[in-house]
């Protein structure tokens, strides 16, 4: 325990990352390991900071981060002070807690840890529910910081599932559920219906729930839960239609229409699914407006145009700039990989696809690679620093079994990236994907971003 001197960022990181970290754990606990009692107790001891700022709560499998970022950007464009809490981070833990689009500073991060740490320790020691986890501590940090700065709104992205996620103690103005597909099946269940039930756990009595386009199986579950809880259900498929006007590597423009109005929108985020995410964010904004929140159409347009959400179909280098095209995307399940392949075909014509690929254990590497196979990639199998990352040798074996051309295997994403760029010519596409950690480490390599390492990180016991 540090005393006397001001807590440093490194000291704060050591405290938080030394807690039990299920997010980066090498095993996936069943839901018996999760509950809200400890988080509720923690926030009770922190003066119920989670209830101090009006909240927007967003769950889903695909698009929840982008939708959260767009929603926050719209509110910021209106002139509100807006907190945004998301996970995981790409390069620094400070990215998880943002205000008006900017991560908290290292000094602020350390100050928040210092403020809550005695409560974290006391709840873990004598609360009766065991030790506070890393994710619970970070969530509490966000709530406390947003209260401290007098935020007008807090946009809270669910970490995992919804029903038993640490964020699910808010009483939101509106909640939203983006597209649901199979992911985290060891924890959330092995069917769309089971996963939808967990996501629908964020639905609260009388709180409007905006729902992105879903399979019939998912929509049936969400509808049942909304009816049981008396929550107004707002499916965007019934409310909006969208039509792309144009797109290039810098972004896309599209028309989003409802019965009442049409928005002419532009966004730097590529992929047809980002139009769907934008429609969800606009539906959230309109729902807030119906609840007497001042929100102009101009703020909606500006927010969608100004949103920044890296490592999602992000162009890191173009042939004009670097002599080759380099793209990263955090797709990490078969469904999101299928959507990525659609976007690659539309936005990035190429001769060869040079693929830097790594995946986390428990995510379907084979399913993702099957989705990529029609593009006939030249494969570089790799392993990220994430503790749950499958080895490069394992990825190479899976790819070979699928008949893919494995040109290089490395246990280091930076090495794989350098090799891929050496192989590439001007007409090739170099793609880093398979997990958000791979996308992050490719970015760190080419942009010379120092990695944030956690050698002291604690792994939960089975």
Tens-place pLDDT, residues 207-249: 999 999 999 999 999 999 999 999 999 999 999 999 999 998 8
The pLDDT confidence band at residue 354, using thresholds 50, 70 and 90, is very high
Residue environment code for 190-214, b if the CB has 16+ CB neighbours within 10 A, otherwise e: eebeebbbbbbbbbbeebbbbbbbb
Secondary structure element (H or E) that encloses residue 257, with its range:
strand 251-257
List of residues 6+ apart from 167 with CB closer than 8 A: 57, 85, 139, 156, 157, 158, 159
Res 235: pLDDT? 97
Strand locations in 27-79, DSSP E? 55-59
Tens-place pLDDT, residues 157-166: 999 889 999 9
**Rounded-to-integer distance, Cα 435 and Cα 432, Å:** 9
- pLDDT above 70 coverage of the chain, percent: 93
Rounded mean pLDDT of 2-6? 63
**Rounded-to-integer distance, Cα 97 and Cα 110, Å:** 12
Res 24: pLDDT? 54
Q: Quote the pTM value.
A: 0.94
Tens-place pLDDT, residues 101-157: 999 999 999 999 999 999 999 999 999 999 999 999 999 999 999 999 999 999 999
Q: Nearest Cα to 82, choosing from 70, 93, 64?
A: 70
List of domains in the chain? 9-306 (3.40.1190.10), 314-442 (3.90.190.20)
């Amino acid at each position: 325990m540090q005393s006397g001197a001001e807590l440093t960022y490194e000291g704060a990181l050591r405290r938080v990352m030394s807690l039990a970290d299920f997010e980066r754990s090498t095993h996936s606990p069943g839901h018996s390991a999760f509950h809200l009692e400890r988080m509720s107790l923690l926030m009770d001891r922190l003066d119920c900071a989670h209830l101090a700022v009006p909240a927007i709560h967003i769950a889903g499998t695909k698009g929840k981060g982008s939708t959260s970022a767009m929603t926050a950007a719209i509110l910021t464009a209106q002139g509100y002070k807006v907190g945004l809490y998301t996970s995981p981070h790409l390069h620094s833990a400070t990215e998880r807690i943002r205000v008006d689009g900017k991560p908290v500073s290292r000094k602020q991060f350390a100050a928040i840890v210092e403020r809550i740490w005695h409560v974290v320790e006391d709840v873990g020691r004598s609360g009766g529910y065991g030790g506070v986890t890393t994710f619970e501590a970070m969530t509490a940090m966000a709530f406390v910081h947003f209260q401290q700065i007098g935020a007008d709104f807090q946009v809270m992205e669910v970490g995992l599932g919804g029903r038993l996620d640490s964020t699910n103690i808010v009483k939101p103005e509106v909640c939203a559920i983006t597209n649901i597909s199979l992911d985290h099946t060891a924890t959330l269940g092995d069917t769309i219906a089971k996963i939808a039930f967990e996501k629908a756990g964020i639905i609260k009595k009388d709180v409007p729930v905006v729902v992105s386009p879903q399979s019939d199986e998912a929509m049936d579950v969400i509808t049942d839960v909304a009816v049981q809880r008396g929550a107004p259900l707002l499916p965007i498929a019934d409310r909006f239609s969208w039509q792309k006007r144009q797109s290039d590597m810098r972004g896309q423009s599209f028309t989003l229409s409802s019965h009442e109005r049409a928005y002419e929108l532009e966004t730097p985020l590529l992929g047809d699914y980002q139009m769907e995410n934008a429609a969800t964010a606009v539906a959230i904004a309109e729902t807030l407006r119906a609840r007497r929140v001042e929100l102009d159409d101009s703020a909606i347009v500006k927010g969608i145009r100004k949103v920044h959400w890296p490592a999602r179909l992000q162009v890191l280098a173009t042939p004009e700039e670097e002599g080759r095209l380099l793209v990263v995307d955090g797709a990490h399940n078969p469904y999101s990989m299928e959507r990525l392949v659609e976007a690659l075909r539309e936005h990035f014509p190429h001769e060869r696809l040079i693929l830097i690929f790594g995946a986390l254990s428990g995510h379907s590497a084979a399913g993702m690679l099957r989705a990529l196979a029609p593009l006939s990639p030249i494969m570089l199998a790799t392993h990220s620093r994430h503790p749950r990352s499958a080895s490069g040798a394992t990825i190479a074996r899976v790819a070979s079994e699928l008949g893919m051309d494995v040109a290089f295997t490395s246990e280091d994403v930076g090495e794989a990236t350098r090799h891929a760029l050496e192989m590439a010519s001007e007409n090739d596409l170099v793609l880093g994907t398979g997990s958000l950690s791979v996308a992050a480490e490719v970015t760190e390599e080419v942009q010379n971003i120092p990695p944030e390492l956690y050698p002291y990180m604690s792994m939960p016991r089975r």
